[in-house]
Amino acid sequence: MPDPDPTQPQGEPPPVVRTPEDEARRAQAVATIGDVRITVGQIEDEIARQTPFMRARYRDRAQLEELVSTLVRFELLAREAERRGMGTDSEVREATAQSAVQQMIRRDFDERITVESIPQADVQAYYDAHPEEFSRAEVRRASQIVLETEEEARALVDEARSADARRFRQLAQERSIDPESRQRGGDLRYFDDHGVSPNSADPAVDAAIVRAAFALTNVGDVGDPIAVGPADGTRRWTIVKLTGLRPAEHRPVEEAGQGIRLRLWRERRQEALEAFVVELRGQITTEVNYERMSGIRFDPPDRLSDDPHAEGAEGEGAEGEAEGRGEAEEGTLPEGHPTVEAEED
């Protein structure tokens, strides 16, 4: 008997046979919105329609509560849309309600709160209140070789100056007595003129090293050995190499204005919509019994593919979040800022 053709319809899946006990479990109302009930079975069916990756996330209680809240929120808006006569056919209620909710939101929110409705004064106020989003101080990257004595440092500095990037890392790993930076080939990462890293919780770089790094002119330059630490038994001598430079940047409000306006528009539209949902909750009796979620059952999790590009891989769950992050940062400095770094040999 030939194998079935996967390109041809295979017919409806066999009906699910449930016991009376299972039907009773699925009939329990997790939430009621007026006379509408959201049951355990409806939530199970909603989860079952999603991909294996998305289904797995609802094993987390917080994610499951968020799903229930989303269903409640939709029903509140759907009832209001129906009260306004925007779709009442019970046989196509869900599809009609979706369209009705979208139409209501478009009319009452999107047409009332537009990007163009954000005043320039509000854009300027946001710009003034968040200078760090539109200006960035110069930061530099350096590597070090820490030695016990000045004599050792001066004996090594000429070799350090003639070394390429790879050889300098080897010298740091072989000769430096600083255990932490030695493991990274002497790398101190990026820091500003106060020795503070802009994107990590690394401890501040010693002020003497900061001064030495900011005194160098070109990436790849190596300065004279410097003393680091108090003039007692803890003083060490350090050779500093400049390995990267990101110049200071500043975006004037004229360039940042449209991104700020988009951000303020999204925030105000969402705030108005959430306030409207709160108002509807006050008008329509709404109950949510999260404890009944314990009756929800999950299918055995499908094995997720090891291929990062396959359906259900990690990227699928992160796609919406990544898109949201991209939108949320439209007013900030672009990531492709000018950067000068030492060539990796």
70: domain CATH number is 1.10.4030
The listed range with the strongest mean pLDDT (76-80, 239-243, 305-309, 312-316) is: 239-243
Does a structural domain hold residue 337? no
Contact (CB, 8 A) for 86 and 104: yes
Judge whether 76 and 38 are in contact, CB under 8 Å: no
Is 343 a member of any domain?
no
Mean pLDDT value of segment 45-53: 86
Q: Given a cut of 70, is residue 307 above it in pLDDT?
A: no
229 & 144 share domain: yes
**What's the rounded mean pLDDT across residues 229-238?**
84
What pLDDT, on a 0 to 100 scale, did the predictor assign at position 53?
82
Final residue of a domain: which of 206, 223, 250? 250
Is 121 inside any structural domain? no
In eight-state DSSP terms, residue 138 is -
Residue 142 in this model has a pLDDT that exceeds 70:
yes
User: Within this chain, do residues 223 and 158 fall inside the same structural domain, yes or no?
Assistant: yes
DSSP code at position 106: I
pLDDT of residue 230: 83
Strand partners, 144: 240
Q: Letter for the amino acid at 44?
A: E
Burial of 23 (0-12, 13-18, 19+ CB in 10 A): exposed
191 band by pLDDT with thresholds 50, 70 and 90: very high
pLDDT at 312: 43
Number of domains in the chain: 2
The pLDDT score that the predictor gives to residue 90 is 60
CA 241, CA 141: separation in Å to the nearest integer? Answer: 9
Does the pLDDT at position 106 exceed 50? Answer: yes
Domain that holds residue 198: 135-250
- Model confidence at 14, pLDDT cuts 50, 70, 90, reads low
Residue 238 pLDDT > 60: yes
Instruction: Tell me, yes or no, whether 171 and 278 share the same domain.
Output: no
Q: What is the mean pLDDT of the chain?
A: 82
- Say whether both 274 and 204 belong to one domain: no
> Average pLDDT, stretch 187-207?
89
pLDDT, residue 331, reads 46
pLDDT band, residue 297 (cuts 50/70/90): confident
Q: Give the residue carrying structure tokens 């139409």.
A: 103
CA distance linking residue 23 with residue 35, whole number of Å: 20
pLDDT of 338 reads 59
